[in-house]
Structure 1
Amino acid sequence: MSFFANQMLVALPALQDPNFSRTVALICQHDGDGAMGVVVNRPSEYTFGDLLEQMNIPLRDARLRDRRVLAGGPVHPERGFVLHDGDGGWDSTLSITDTLHVTTSRDVLEAMASGDGPEHAAVALGCAGWGRGQLERELTQHSWLTVPADAQLLFDTPLDARWQAAAARIGVDMMHIASHSGRA
């Protein structure tokens, strides 16, 4: 069985699920029990400043105040997920690769707020989850493209350009893909 951790899923136009239409999701963990990922191109209604205010964390690095928090997916929308580079040694970190991690503990947010956090980071509320075999079925149903994860896309590409940019990484222009699929 092939696992897709450290891959990005790019929703094909035929995927009509409102939670995932035109999304890019970074797969953080994938094994025989299922997969967990974070949508990386859909803004939430919150800024980083809003989030810290709700958590009573003082923001000392004002450059981060208006940074948009992502809507990471429909699972656990009240829970924060920080995608970041470096190692940092945070309390609850899952390493996706040697240089890309997801952390769910408060300490990384406190470090970011004080200007001591990871060099590159994206904060998301919620995640996406797939049960045993679900992601594999969706891939065979032509719902997703798989693209190797790319830090530049995750941290530097504007949110509204990520869907097209992710597909372009493997030579696909989403404007030339049909919005329906079938079998011949």
Structure 2
Amino acid sequence: MTSEPRAGMLLVATRGLEDPNFAESVVLLLDSDEDGALGVVVNRPSPVHVADVLEGWRDVVGEPDVLFRGGPVSPDGALALGRPQDPGAPPVGYREIVPGLGVLDLDTPVELVEGGLGDLRIFVGYAGWGPGQLEDEIAEGSWHVVAGRVADAFSVAPHDLWRDVLRRQPGSLAWTSTQPADPSLN
């Protein structure tokens, strides 16, 4: 486990994080520097199908083909994460975050993207922190900061991702995946 937040890392909510926006969440950091941090919650699918809101993207997104709740900031906006089919020739509108994973501009015409991505997921809203805010939350024990995998952003079982990410960690951190939400009920 590391404690340095940077692009590509995962923030895994601890049991002590009581904010309902982030309880048992896994946040993929897209950017983190002295000006703050930005990420998306990757394990919160919504019941809204992409086709119901962004018809043109219906055949490009992966399963599940729903919008994901990326976070409480800017809930009227959307951003997309993608994995290029050919990392050496990503599609138009794609900006790499870490090797094999990037943000796709949803204003890009779909026909310029089709076939260029192996995976695409669309997030409504995002998670954001001001300067020093995320570091303070990590220091107070709200987040585990762990290495991410590109596949985490496209999990076909997003409801299991919090537990799965914790289970693959070394040492006692893996054990926390089995703790009940309220230990006093145990």
Q: TM class, shorter-chain normalised? A: 0.7 to 0.9
Deviations 1:9-59 (A, max 9, x none): 000111000110110000000010000000000112311111223xxx375
Aligned to 1:131: 130
SS of the equivalent of 1:129 reads strand
TM-score normalized by structure 1? 0.81
Q: Which runs of 5+ in 1 are unaligned?
A: none
SS of the equivalent of 1:170 reads coil
For residues 94 and 63 of structure 1, what CA distance do their matches in structure 2 show? 17
Query: Which amino acid in structure 1 is aligned with residue 68 of structure 2?
Result: L
Aligned to 2:71: 73
RMSD: 2.7
Q: Note the C-alpha offset of 1:116.
A: 2.7
TM-score normalized by structure 2? 0.80
Contact 2:51 2:57 in 1 (8 A): no
Aligned to 1:82: 80
Query: Which amino acid in structure 2 is aligned with residue 140 of structure 1?
Result: A
Contact 2:60 2:120 in 1 (8 A): no
Q: Which runs of 5+ in 2 are unaligned?
A: none
Classify 1:111/1:80 alpha carbon distance in 2 versus 1 (closer, same or farther; 3 Å). Answer: farther
SS of the equivalent of 1:96 reads strand
Contact 2:72 2:127 in 1 (8 A): yes
Contact 1:48 1:66 in 2 (8 A): no
For residues 58 and 6 of structure 1, what CA distance do their matches in structure 2 show? 24
Identity %: 31
Q: Note the C-alpha offset of 1:83.
A: 1.1
Q: Note the C-alpha offset of 1:105.
A: 3.0
SS of the equivalent of 1:137 reads helix
Aligned to 2:46: 44
For residues 35 and 57 of structure 2, what CA distance do their matches in structure 1 show? 39
Q: Note the C-alpha offset of 1:103.
A: 2.3
Contact 1:14 1:178 in 2 (8 A): no
Contact 1:23 1:41 in 2 (8 A): yes
Residues 24-35 of structure 1: matches in 2 within 5 Å?
24-35=26-37
Aligned residue-pair number: 173
Contact 2:61 2:122 in 1 (8 A): no
Classify 1:65/1:107 alpha carbon distance in 2 versus 1 (closer, same or farther; 3 Å). Answer: farther
Aligned to 1:118: 117
Residues 121-160 of structure 1: matches in 2 within 5 Å?
121-160=120-159
